[in-house]
Amino acid sequence: MSKNVIFLSTYPPRACGIATFTADLVKNLGDKFPSNNYKIAAINDENYKYGKDIWSTLDQFDRKAYVHLANLINNSNMDLVVIEHEYGIYGGDCGEYLLDFINSLKIPFIATFHTILSKPNKKQRDILKILGSKSKKIITMGENSIKILNQVYNIPENKIIVIPHGVPDIIVEGKELLKEKLGYENRSVISTFGLLSSGKGIEYSIEAISQVVKTHPEVLYLILGQTHPCIKRTEGESYRNNLQDLVSKLNIKDNVKFVNKYLTKKEIVQYLTLSDIYMTPYLASEQAVSGTLAYAAGYGKVIVSTPYRYAEEMLKDNRGMLAKFKDSTSLAQAITYLLDNPIARKNMEKNMFELGRKMKWPYVAKQYENLFLNIIKANKIAKQVV
């Protein structure tokens, strides 16, 4: 049975983690299930030059546009809408304009929740409760969110589906060869990647590295990625400049390298492959998913992280080490332990690899496809009964 599915999401070239996620999902669905029709309704905060898979665009800040888009979809051959939900990508207070869209929609929809707060404000809670009540299913990327969705947002557990964050399935050269190519041979490489912003806590990582180098002078910390475009518009490069000043002040210029560019997926996989340890020093305990940590997990990396919700879930069962929030000494102790104990590190890598191989996009796309099929079938049967 061929299907027509439309995704409401940000989309490349908009530099945004959800845009990348949706593009990856749609590409892998198209590769694996070419008889189906997958389209995009792209959310704009400015004008972008899109490719042919864009069916329509939505002006994030124009409330009337949400009803207009719903009506366009209602009058099309679409069978299902997939809403990628993040508070900051929709217009209105906490993204409330999205409710105008779903209230006008006459075909089934499902929603993937990229942020799930355990202590939301009233507006944030109301939006997710309405999405949860009107959707056919809610997708979350971690088991950690099921209880919160149920208890805080009144979404019944049988409506919640857990599908892991997908990871690219790209083959690259081996670790030592990649290190040699970039001039990193004989270095213990630690990396962090993603769009740079102050909430990432990179200053604590840098302070941790300044402690680690006392016993491991060979350490090289790679800070990979450009500054988040929204941050760059409002604050310029002030955060990156502060980090670079901190590196100079701590006298560790030989141990920290900034790669200031938007990385291709292949480049991300290459950097992950050559890394000995991956680190996420994030500051917010609420974070229900991290695409960058998911990528590292997918490639079997040993991970040092602060204990936000997604990290706690991914790193349990001896798959990495958790450090305290805003505590560079705690991060440094975890890194030093892993560098001093290669056998323990190998065991963690092996455990993470076992989990990570089930996160590659071909596996993940199949789970989405099965979900789409079941919902569209059930909707067609319901229509026949009526």
Q: Tens digit of pLDDT for each residue in 158-184?
A: 999 999 999 999 999 999 999 999 999
Arithmetic mean of pLDDT, 325-336: 98
Q: Which helix (H) or strand (E) holds 325?
A: none
Mean pLDDT across 131-142: 97
How much of the chain, in percent, has pLDDT values that exceed 90?
Answer: 85
| Cα separation, 113 vs 60, whole angstroms | 18
Element (DSSP H or E) covering residue 360: none
Q: What is the pLDDT of residue 382?
A: 80
Q: Give percent helix, percent strand, percent coil of the chain, each to the nearest 5.
A: 50, 15, 35
Band (pLDDT 50/70/90 cuts) for residue 386 is: low
| SS3 labels along 181-225 | HHCCCCCEEEEEECCECHHHCHHHHHHHHHHHCCCCCCEEEEEEC
Q: Model confidence over 245-284: pLDDT tens digits?
A: 999 999 999 999 999 998 888 999 999 999 999 999 999 8
Residue type present at position 197? S
Ordered by where they begin, the domains of the chain are: 4-166+361-385 (3.40.50.2000), 175-359 (3.40.50.2000)
Stated as kind and residue range, the H or E segment containing 168 is none
Report pLDDT digits (tens) over 200-232.
999 999 999 999 999 999 999 999 999 888 788
Backbone φ/ψ region at 300: left (φ over 0), alpha (ψ -120 to 50), beta: left
- More confidently predicted of 382 and 182: 182
Give 181 or 236, the one with higher predicted confidence: 181
Reported as a single tens digit per residue, the pLDDT across 4-20 is 999 999 999 998 889 99
- At residue 385 the predicted structure's pLDDT band, cuts being 50, 70 and 90, is low
pLDDT (tens digit, 9 = 90+) per residue, 88-114? 999 999 999 999 999 999 999 999 999
- Dihedrals phi, psi of 111, to nearest 5 degrees: -135, 140
* Cβ pair 136, 142 in contact under 8 A: no
Residue type, 77: N
pLDDT at position 287 is 83
Can you give the pLDDT at residue 379? 86
Region of 77 (left: φ > 0; alpha: ψ -120 to 50; beta: rest) is alpha
Cα→Cα distances 250→150, 220, 268, 329, Å: 46, 14, 27, 14
Q: What is the pLDDT of residues 43-57, one digit of tens each?
A: 999 999 998 889 999
